Amino acid sequence: MKNLFSCLLLFVFTIGVNAQGGNAIFGITPATGSYPTPGLYENFNSVFGYQAMKGIDGVSPTTTPAAQANCAFGYQSLMNNQLSSGNSAFGTSSLASVSTNTGTGGNSAFGNSAMSNLTSGQLNSAFGLETLRMATGNNNIAMGYRALGGDTFARTASGNIAIGIAAFQNGVGDNNIAIGAGAMWAGNNGTASVGSANIVIGNASAINFNSTSVTNNVFLGNETGTSLTTGAQNVLVGYQAGKSITTGSNNVIIGRYHMPSAGDGTDFGNNSNNSIILADGSSNIARLTVANNGNVGIGLGNTKAQNRLEIKSATANTSGLLFSNLKSTFSPTSTASKFLTVDSAGNVILQNLPAASSGYTTIAAGTNISLSGSASSGYTIAATPSLSVTGTTLSISGGNTVSLPGFTDTDTSIYNSDGNINSGRLVNLNANLLFNTTSGGKIYIGDKTTVAGATYTGNYKLFVEEGIMAEKVKVAIEGTGNWMDHVFETNYKLMPLTDLEKFVKSEKHLPGINSAEDLVKNGLDIGEMQAKQMGKIEELVLYTIEQNKMIQAQQHQIDELEKKLAELLKVSQSEKK
């Protein structure tokens, strides 16, 4: 029986120790560790399994020992290795494609088909079924079924850490960290997952990376950034944070906020950049936002703030601000001349407190001040000068009298005899303000004691000494005949340039334009002068068009002459030959 067992053992296994290189080889048709001319070229390898490390048989000796210190355990593990050293392969077909020693070695593969497609690479570690199945790559760590594996084998990736089922499957890129089932997974359709220097922790996160520009992103949470295809420097934290963002960079999202598309009525869409968003984690509504222009919004939902700080309260007619240590019972220690208030749009603005001796203050009767009298006789406040209100008429006495007619919602005329306004007055109205003057009357603004008729004002209704300054001046044109577009009519005759030259030399100004002496004497009519200048510009355009036609004709003649000259030169050269 003992002899029979020994025979069976010899029949099933080819067992031996290579005396030349110290190899331990066990299995059916495994590597023999020998070459027709034995030498120290395949040393200290441990081989266990059918066709394990079969590739070292018949390798031509070289000056450098190869295929050393390898461990192959399993069916066809390290089967094609001839020259690579320091590899450990445990599992069917693990590290089965490694053959060269160029940039290859020091790999550890544990699991069936682990690193089965690696042809060149070193210092990789793979743990799990079909992990790290790529063509080339260095310094990768893969743990979990198909981590850094997949169905796209002609890939290169280095310096990656993939932990979890299908983590960074079909990955192409360097220095990524993918932890979680399906993290940085491109699916089973042969599409590569592309990106570098990304950190993705969470199941099914970042599953659509497909551009080399996807770099330096940090995703923490399940299903984060699942639609991102292009973008960099994004930080997404929380379940489904930034789930719908497709393109964008430099965003920070904390909480469950999908980044919905622009069509969903949001200012923070799926292509946003340089934004910071804090969400509540349940309703896909942003609670605090910092837009790419630096504006901060609190409680605005998915709308960007239009000011540096914008707050929307959950209750109507409240600001949403609460100063716990600044209440109405607080007694200020110092007086101030300014206060904060809000305008009609809700903007917080700084205003001056009205001074006691000047300014304009609206006082609601019956609330802040007591008025004596009645609606029929009028209300009176005892003061010097006096103030009385009767119906819709306000009169002020104690100097020049100012009388305002009753409100009629029509244009208002201000007219009176000559007089002086001794102090500031304010007129605030929605209708037009008219200055009614007689046919010979005028409005004069200046410091002359006596206005001597046309000596100062000429024939104009308004005269202002020292000039006026306005943000906009619009001059009315009476009709199309007062503009110069007739220059472009076909029957308009341009002055020949020779005649124009004679006129300019003689008159020292353009035809149809007032001379300097005339302008000094009579002034400049802006509308008339603008029309004349536009006419000269239009004439200049016509001159330019004519000159361009002449230039084109001359250029055509030059081109024809050049052609004839070239032909003559060609004939002359042929005759010389």
Residue appearing with tokens 């923070």: 268
Quote the CA–CA distance of 242 and 224 in Å, as a whole number.
6
Question: What Å distances lie between residue 434 and 306, 421, 425, 470, CA to CA?
Answer: 39, 18, 16, 19
Single-letter residue type at 490: T
Q: Quote the pLDDT of residue 468.
A: 85
Over range 51-75, report the average pLDDT.
Answer: 73
Q: pLDDT digit string (tens) for 309-361? A: 888 877 777 777 766 666 667 666 666 677 777 777 777 777 777 665 544 45
Does the pLDDT of residue 453 top 60, yes or no? no
SS3 143: strand
How much is the pTM? 0.52
Taking the CB of residue 418, how many other CB atoms lie within 10 A of it? 4
Does the pLDDT of residue 236 top 60, yes or no? yes
Q: pLDDT digit string (tens) for 133-176? A: 888 899 999 999 999 887 766 688 999 999 999 999 988 999 99
Q: Please report how many Cα atoms fall inside a 13 Å half-sphere around the Cα of residue 462, on the Cβ side.
A: 5
Taking the CB of residue 336, how many other CB atoms lie within 10 A of it? 8
Q: pLDDT digit string (tens) for 511-533? A: 988 888 988 888 888 888 888 88
Q: Please report how many Cα atoms fall inside a 13 Å half-sphere around the Cα of residue 446, on the Cβ side.
A: 16
The 3-state secondary structure of 72-118, one letter per residue: EECCCCCCCCCCCECCEEECCCCCCCCCCCCCCECCEEECCCCCCCC
Which helix (H) or strand (E) segment holds residue 567: the answer is: helix 526-576
Query: Nearest to residue 56, comparing CAs of 71, 66, 44?
Result: 66
Q: pLDDT digit string (tens) for 185-195? A: 876 656 788 88
Percent of the chain with pLDDT over 70: 65
